[in-house]
Homo-oligomer: A and B are copies of this chain.
Amino acid sequence: MTSTPLGTAIVTQVAIVVKDIEAAIAAWSTLLGVPQPNVIVTDTVDQAHTEYKGRSTPARAKLAFFPLGQVTLELIEPLGEPSTWNDQLVAHGQSLHHIAFQVKGMQARVDELTEHGMHLVQRGDYTGGRYAYVDGQERFGAVVELLEND
C-alpha cells in the first residue's frame, strides 16, 4: 500500500476534544464498561518541538486512550494555546477532532498529502515517535493525524 498517498487504509484512532478530561474519562469508562485509563500530559515544547501553523507553540494537552479493538478512542483536553485542539474546542465545542493512521516516512507523507489538498497544521514529537495533523476539511471533511513510531 506504500504507493498510495497515505500508505495505509487502516484507521487506528478516533479522537475527541473535551473540556474536562477527568469527567469525560469517567463518562466513557461507564458507558463502555472498561477501566479508566491514566491521563498522560504531552511533553513541553523543548521536548515535543510542537509547531502549530508553522510556529513553535507552548500548547500542550492532557490525553487518555481507550483501546476499543483495532481503534483507540483518544480524549484530548487542551492545555494552553495556540493549538488545533484548543482552536477546535473554542470554535466548535466538544467534538470529534481527527481520525489517525500509522505511517512510515513522516515528512514524505506530509509532502505527498499536501499535493492531495491536505495541509500540515500541527506537528510534534512524543517518546518513541512523532505526529502530524493534516487538515483535509475542504476536500475530505476531516482532519487526519499521521502517527509514526520508531
* CA A11 to CA B116, docked complex, whole Å: 28
Question: Across the interface, do B96 and A97 meet the contact criterion of CB distance under 8 Å?
Answer: yes
A110 at the interface (CB under 8 A from B): no
Give chain A's interface residue range (CB within 8 Å of chain B): 35 or more
Question: Across the interface, do B95 and A9 meet the contact criterion of CB distance under 8 Å?
Answer: no
Determine which of B9, B34, B68, B94 lies in contact with A141 in the assembled complex, contact meaning CB atoms within 8 Å: B94
Distance between A1 CB and nearest chain B CB, rounded to angstroms: 6
Chain A residues 71-107 with CB under 8 Å of chain B are 71, 73, 75, 92-99
Question: Across the interface, do A140 and B3 meet the contact criterion of CB distance under 8 Å?
Answer: no
A16 cross-chain contacts in B, Cβ below 8 A: 140-142
